[in-house]
Amino acid sequence: MTTEKHTSAAQAGVRIAATAAYASTARIDELRATEYRHLDRDGQVYLDYAGAGVAARAQIVAHHGRLVSGLYSNPHSENHTSEAAGSLVESARRAVLDFFRADPSEYVVIFTPNASGACRLVGEAYGFGRGCPLVLTWDNHNSVNGIREYARAARAPVRYVPLAGPELRVAESDVIAALAAGRRGLADRLRWRRSGTLGLFAYPAQSNFTGVQHPLGWVDLAQQHGYDVLLDAAAFAPTNRLDLSVVRPDFVCLSWYKLFGYPTGVGALLARRDALTRLRRPWFAGGTIRAVSVQGDWHQPMEDESGFEDGTLNFLSIPDVEFGLGWLDSIGVDLVHTRVGLLTGWLLEQLTALRHRNGRPLVRVYGPPTGDARGGTVAFNFRYPDGSLVDERLVALESSAAGFALRTGCFCNPGAAEAAFGISRDSLRRTLLAHAETIDQHLATLRLPTGGAVRVSFGLASTATDAERFLAFAESTYLDRNGPAAVRLAPRIRC
């Protein structure tokens, strides 16, 4: 590492920290030094907020204090300990609705294991059919893509809306075309609305791959075309305000650890009450039914949110959701949004400006090259001076050894990856890939230079120093470095 390179990164980091805009978010630096001081232990740098948020000391203390000061048991029982647990669960439901400004007469909160579990609840119970399609954007997490298997099992049409342009966005005209396909006009849409057999449109408010923020206005657009809307807010909600009094999707999927780090194993499906009545679950479990008969071969499901909460809820952790929401609210989602936006825009500006001595760029960014209409997720590959890509597994190995926690791969978002890497539909034919048994064999068949990207993501406790240190690492490790490196890399396991 040359002194000149290191100094340039350090000086750039000081400049962003010295700006008035950054100074307005100083509350986060105060929290980093107190509640999140464990992030700076052993010189590590956490840059994987899209993978998981980080917990504050206050959250862990609150959880411990509650457990040692009270006794809580299965809410399905009827005694004072179960009533105490049930009361905390219901309080958490109200807190969720308050946080998202959702009208309790319009929305319910269904606690799930995670956002994936929320998606599954909708997929398995939705009334897909030949006249009730599923429309998705290419840019979707696999937990949303998986809904297509339920649709296809019901012989429903499945239509994907492609990504377009270097910023990997979705054109609204393509959304409209996909929603309108197979429908003749307003009369048909009204008839579908009356019959209750609507199509489902599913998309993310923010891409977990590129950070692109897709318009929330598509919720109303799809509903005007007669569709229910599933909004994946798992990547969006941690650093952006989602106001359900303004935007009213039929279903919203969330994982709480993405918002504030703890608890894990708890997510939620926020559902409009009228949309929930159209779901028909394919099975039942303990806690989801009023009554059931073995000899009579019948069951009567619960009609409220408990009809979708299988078995015993995680009653010892769900109260932590209420504390976490209060914690995030006390800091301010808008403050977090401002801080993350500043760091993201700055890092993009710095990374895209880096050039090898021969003038070629050091990085290839996937998605928007600026901070406009995007979140705090930056996906890219490093390039050698000859333009070839640095293997993302090598970056994972070297960045981890240097103390950085980031993500590499395709991030469970194959549609965004296919668009980013320019993979054509023809090359993905099953016959072509029939004999490829491993991820590396698939990549060789597709003639791809690498198996994924590098993803850096900012969140609630991120600071200018985090961004500065990563930029210095990028410069010192990959700028003017010839490759490929003679390092034996582990085979890729999954994408």
Residue 340 identity: V
Q: If we measure between CA atoms, which residue out of 368, 419, 365 comes closest to residue 160?
A: 419
State yes or no: is 412 an active-site residue: yes
Point out the catalytic residue in the list 132, 253, 412, 495. Answer: 412
**N-terminal to C-terminal alpha carbon distance within the chain:** 33
CA 176 to each of CA 82, 159, 224, 273: distance values in angstroms, whole numbers, following the listed order = 49, 12, 11, 26
What's the per-residue H, E or C state across the chain?
A: CCHHHHHHHHHHHHHHHCCHHHHCCHHHHHHHHHCCHHHHHHHCEECECCCCCCCCHHHHHHHHHHHHHCCCCCCCCCCHHHHHHHHHHHHHHHHHHHHCCCCCCCEEEEEECCHHHHHHHHHHHCCCECCECEEEECCCCHHHHCHHHHHHHCCCCEEEECCECCCCECCHHHHHHHHHCCCCCHHHHHHHHHHCCCEEEEEECECCCCCEECCCCHHHHHHHCCEEEEEECCCCCCCCCCCCCCCCCCEEEEEHHHHHCCCCCCEEEEEEHHHHCCCCCCCCCCCCEEEEECCCCEEEECCCHHHHCCCCCCCCCHHHHHHHHHHHHHHCHHHHHHHHHHHHHHHHHHHHHCECCCCCECEEEECCCCCCCECCEEEEEEECCCCCECCHHHHHHHHHHCCEECEEECCCCHHHHHHHCCCCCHHHCHHHHCCCCCHHHHHHHHCCCCCCEEEEECCCCCCHHHHHHHHHHHHHHHCCCCCCCCCCCCCCCCC
The residues that bridge with 159 in the sheet, in sequence order, are 135
Q: If we measure between CA atoms, which residue out of 184, 327, 337, 317 comes closest to residue 263?
A: 317
Q: Just list the catalytic residues.
A: 412
